[in-house]
Amino acid sequence: MLRENSREGIRHMAILTLLYDSACRVQELIDLSVADVTIGRCCKVFVKGKGSKYREIPIFGETGRILKCYINAYGLKSDDALFTNRSGERLTRAGVSHIMNKYKKFIAEQYPDSFDLRLSPHTMRHSKATHPGK
């Protein structure tokens, strides 16, 4: 389902991976520009959160590699929005929910009796916050 070799698959992987790894709020994620991402020895994102407070969030090197692959695949420049929709406009909260629901549906179809899947941007944030060894 998640075709990591397709442009859309790379984009979805970047969105979902960064959403989890950074524990960003959805609004923080969709407000990001390419310039807010540092990829290198120390990968991090610089987000504007509640109350217009800025903070640096370290991310795993693997997340940085996924973001680099995504940025290169889409030819993004530093002043571009990090995540856009098909019209080239910034991705919206509804757009992020649509992407998550797509994969939630796929998982539910593949594993119908496994578990009750509660997947949302907020549960991703909460999961990261409570993940052992974060």
Model pLDDT for residues 16-53, shown as the tens digit of each residue: 999 989 988 999 999 999 999 999 989 999 998 788 88
Whichever domain contains 54, its CATH number is 1.10.443.10
Q: What is the DSSP code string of 10-38?
A: HHHHHHHHHHHHH---HHHHHH-BGGGEE
- Hey, what long-range contacts does 84-93 have (CB within 8 A, 24 or more apart)? 90/30, 90/31, 91/15, 91/30, 92/30, 93/26, 93/27, 93/30, 93/121
* Residue numbers in the chain where pLDDT is lower than 70: 1-4, 114-118, 120-122, 124-134
State the pLDDT at residue 124. Answer: 65
Residue 20 lies in a domain: yes
Within a domain: 65: yes
- Give the structural domain span for 54: 7-130
For the chain, how many structural domains are there in total?
A: 1
CA distance 105 to 25: 22
* Residues in CB range of 115: below 8 A, 6 or more apart: none
Asked whether residue 2 is domain-assigned, the answer is no
Four-residue CA torsion sign, 54, 59, 63, 65: positive
Residue 27 domain-assigned?
yes
pTM confidence score? 0.84
Residue 1 lies in a domain: no
* Residue 59 resides in a domain: yes
